[in-house]
Amino acid sequence: VPYAMYADHAAALTAPNGSSDHAVHVDNTGQVGIGTTSPQAQLQISTTTGSALQVDAGAQHLTVNSNGIYVQGDTDNPDMMLDLQGGGTAQRGEYLFGVDGQRRASVYYDKSTNKAGMVNGNTQLNLYDNGWVETFANLGVNGEIHSTSNLWLQGNLTMGPRPGRKPVKIVRITHLPENVGKVYSEVPAADYECTIGSWSTGLYDINENGNGRNKVWTFVEGGWWWVGVEFSSHNKHDTPSIDVVCFLKGMVEYDTTHGAREDLGN
């Protein structure tokens, strides 16, 4: 006697050998769960072991497992949460971001130049493997870009060769006796080039008639910058004050004018 069996809808697909009550579950709202009987989306795949999703197209793979999302390559052990690799010999890999069908930004790596880059519109920033950073637009630090400056820094700036060094250092030495000789500036010669910025004295007697030269200069001794001080005074103590201006090496070119006369024409 012919007969037939049918159901209005499938509520579950039973796994073979009794390994699971329901391998695929469809709830009464039409949501499908694989590995779960309480799907929270139209399709939910849940597992605590192995891969939750794997799609193969020849040598190309898309895998989702507990280690992350992996496209192409070793699908069991991705190096990061989202790991993309190509199996071919392409010279350039690139992510493109677009809005309304227009290319807006990209992140890329170029094998031929060993260079990574980020592009936003016409603005490009390149990162090289030797530590060089190159930009084709203005660069702002600390959240602000100045329209008339290639580099705009808002905040403090410190530079090498050792950490914590300011680009320009000014040392003021005050209340010196005349003919004091040399004065220690506490500025390391390995980091800075120093020169005299200015000097002043508040007790100099313009009516004295003695002859003498007033001299202030910088020199290096024992790895430190020193200030030479010679002030001639016949009636009063001059108590000069001196500003020593020091520039971090690498920011300034320091040279000597050969043949200049110390007495400047006398």
Q: What is the pLDDT of residues 39-82, one digit of tens each?
A: 899 999 888 877 888 887 776 777 887 777 777 655 556 566 66
Q: Which of 115, 130, 153 is the last residue of a domain?
A: 153
Residue among 175, 171, 154 nearest 218 (CA): 171
DSSP-assigned states of every residue in 19-47: S-S-SEEE-TTS-EEES-SS-SSSEEE--
Residues 134, 182 within the same domain: no
The residue behind tokens 């949501």 is 31
Residues 29, 98 within the same domain: no
Supply the range of the domain harboring residue 147. Answer: 92-153
With cut-offs at 50, 70 and 90, classify the pLDDT of residue 171. Answer: very high
Q: Does 183 reside within a domain?
A: yes
The residue behind tokens 């709202």 is 29
Amino acid (one-letter) located at 261 = R
**Is the per-residue pLDDT at 21 higher than 90?**
no
Number of structural domains found in the chain:
3
With cut-offs at 50, 70 and 90, classify the pLDDT of residue 220. Answer: very high
Q: Does 123 reside within a domain?
A: yes
**Is the per-residue pLDDT at 91 higher than 90?**
no
Q: Does 158 reside within a domain?
A: no
Q: Does 258 reside within a domain?
A: no
Q: Which of 126, 153, 180 is the last residue of a domain?
A: 153
**Is the per-residue pLDDT at 264 higher than 50?**
no
Residues 96, 146 within the same domain: yes
User: Quick one: tokens of 224?
Assistant: 């430190």
Q: Does 259 reside within a domain?
A: no
Q: Judge residue 231's burial from the number of C-beta atoms within 10 Å of its C-beta, 0-12 exposed, 13-18 middle, 19 or more buried.
A: buried
Q: Does 12 reside within a domain?
A: yes
DSSP class of residue 18 equals G
